[in-house]
């Protein structure tokens, strides 16, 4: 549709021809938000495999996890408009998406509870794959809790497009993609290559990634709460954001990023 607007002369998104730019946002996020959960569910399966092996326990609530996985997939198609709370959508419709957005947190929270319950009382072996799996639970829990604030339209008005959203996104998507990938690689390394992975090097890589990751993005929550929005490169027009203590946070996060890159 965008290509047709640009090349053929249609006006799906052009107000001059009766179109609506907001339609583009609706279509994009109707595709984009379920995609997050498409990536999430395989990672949840990887973490479940690792936790059961290295805690030497059967997965707690196996059937319930299956049901909640299906519920997550279904609800993922009815939450997209929480990205448009500040874009001028009908407030009555916004209230509907507040409810659906908060509802989808329930099955995901149940999955995390099942994993933590599996760990409880287990004989845990802190191998490299297990460290990645535990770090996934830690980071994704932070991402999920902060997402509840963004799902409430009254709060999202203040947090939208700020560094709070940036930090929330990375605490959600970094565990799903990067941590999940490293957990899978280290867990199935012997099957893929026919030899055991060096545990010492694996743990150095883990700590060299996990600690800087938190040092990068955890401070961004505070920048977001202080009112810093994205895409601002010159703070001279924003005296409150030019404060020295906020600049120290930015320098700390940037330095942590450089350190993490050294371990990649």
Domain residue spans in the chain? 25-262
Q: Specify the pLDDT at position 17.
A: 78
The DSSP call for residue 229 is B
Q: Specify the pLDDT at position 243.
A: 75
Q: Is the pTM of the predicted complex or chain greater than 0.85?
A: yes
Q: Specify the pLDDT at position 34.
A: 84
H helix count then E strand count, the chain = 10, 0
Pick the CATH number of 25-262 from 1.20.210.10, 3.10.350.10, 3.40.50.150, 3.40.50.300: 1.20.210.10
Q: pLDDT tens digits, the chain, 264 residues: what are they?
A: 778 877 888 888 878 778 778 888 888 888 888 888 888 989 999 999 999 999 999 999 889 999 999 998 888 888 888 888 888 788 888 888 899 989 989 999 999 999 999 999 889 999 999 999 999 999 999 999 998 998 888 888 889 889 999 999 999 999 999 999 999 999 999 999 999 889 999 999 999 999 999 999 999 999 999 888 888 877 777 777 777 778 889 899 999 999 999 876
Residue with tokens 């395989």: 42
Report how far residue 41's alpha carbon sits from residue 126's, in angstroms, rounded to the nearest whole number: 24
Q: How many CB atoms lie within 10 A of CB 245?
A: 8
Report how far residue 120's alpha carbon sits from residue 99's, in angstroms, rounded to the nearest whole number: 32
């Amino acid at each position: 549709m965008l290509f047709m607007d640009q090349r053929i002369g249609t006006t799906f998104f052009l107000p001059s021809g009766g179109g609506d730019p907001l339609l583009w946002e609706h279509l994009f996020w109707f595709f984009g938000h379920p995609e997050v959960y498409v990536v999430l569910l395989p990672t949840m399966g990887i973490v479940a495999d690792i936790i059961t092996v290295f805690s030497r326990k059967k997965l707690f609530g196996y059937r319930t996890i299956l049901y909640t996985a299906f519920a997550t997939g279904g609800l993922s198609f009815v939450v997209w408009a929480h990205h448009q709370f500040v874009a001028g959508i009908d407030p009555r419709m916004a209230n509907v998406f507040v409810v659906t957005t908060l509802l989808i947190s329930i099955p995901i929270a149940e999955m995390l509870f099942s994993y933590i319950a599996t760990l409880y009382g287990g004989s845990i072996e802190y191998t490299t794959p297990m460290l990645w799996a535990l770090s996934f639970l830690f980071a994704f829990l932070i991402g999920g809790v902060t997402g509840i604030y963004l799902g409430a339209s009254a709060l999202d008005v203040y947090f939208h497009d700020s560094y709070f959203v940036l930090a929330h996104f990375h605490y959600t998507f970094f565990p799903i993609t990067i941590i999940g990938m490293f957990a899978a690689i280290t867990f199935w390394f012997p099957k893929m290559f026919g030899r055991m992975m060096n545990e010492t090097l694996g743990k150095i890589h883990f700590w060299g990634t996990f600690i800087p990751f938190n040092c990068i993005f955890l401070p961004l929550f505070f920048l977001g709460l202080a009112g810093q929005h994205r895409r601002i490169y010159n703070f001279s027009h924003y005296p409150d954001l030019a404060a020295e203590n906020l600049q120290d946070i930015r320098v700390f996060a940037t330095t942590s990023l450089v350190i993490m890159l050294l371990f990649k």
